[in-house]
Each structure stands twice: as C-alpha cells, then as structure tokens.
Amino acid sequence: MDYTKGTWAVEKWGHNTVIVTDADQTDSEICVISKHGLPFEANAHLIAAAPAMYEALKGIRKDVDKPKPLVFDELESETLIKVYKAISAAEGK
C-alpha cells in the first residue's frame, strides 16, 4: 500500500483548526481538520497515529501467522512496543 510513510504530527493552526503533517518534512500537510462541533483535536491525533497503528497491526499479523499456535507471551516485544506507542499517539499522549 502506498501512503506517506514516517511519523505524522498534529499541529495547531489557529483556534479552531489543526493540521496533520509529516513530522519529518516541512510544508507537508496530510490533512486539515476544522472544529465544526466535532472533537477535532482527538480526531487529528487518531489520524496522525494511523501509520504507526497500521505497522503495529502488520507486526501482530506476522506473529499470529507463524506456523505454530501463538501464545500471547510469544508476541515479539518490538511488536508490542509499537502497539503501545501507536495507541498512545492515537490518544494524543
């Protein structure tokens, strides 16, 4: 799948607008979200966390698809770290 790889960030843009950008590049708007009565900052954090969540889920799928039955303790620690980081990013932490 082709999408903007890397870390996405949330930046305030005035009082009622936030933008999601590629944190590694300048002038790289991915989307602009305006308030309009919605929890726009929470939505922006969720969108910004999408690449990390996608990569973490692919890691879990890879672990689950191993030929032997998977036990939770066998999930790769690196995969679990990615999952926790992605969830924190989605929550704006």
**pLDDT string in tens for the chain (93-residue length):** 788 888 898 988 888 888 888 888 877 889 888 888 788 888 898 899 888 888 888 887 777 777 766 565 666 677 778 888 888 887 877
Q: What is the model's pTM? A: 0.70
Q: Which of these, 86, 22, 12, lies nearest to 50 by C-alpha position?
A: 86
**Distance from C-alpha of 44 to C-alpha of 59, rounded to nearest angstrom:** 24
Residue 73: DSSP 8-state: G
Nearest CA-CA partner of 53 in 79, 21, 16: 79
* CA–centroid distance for 27 within its chain: 20
The three-state secondary structure class of 84 is: helix
Locate the domains of the chain by residue range: 7-38, 49-93
Q: Which residues contact 91 (CB under 8 A, 6 or more apart)?
A: 45
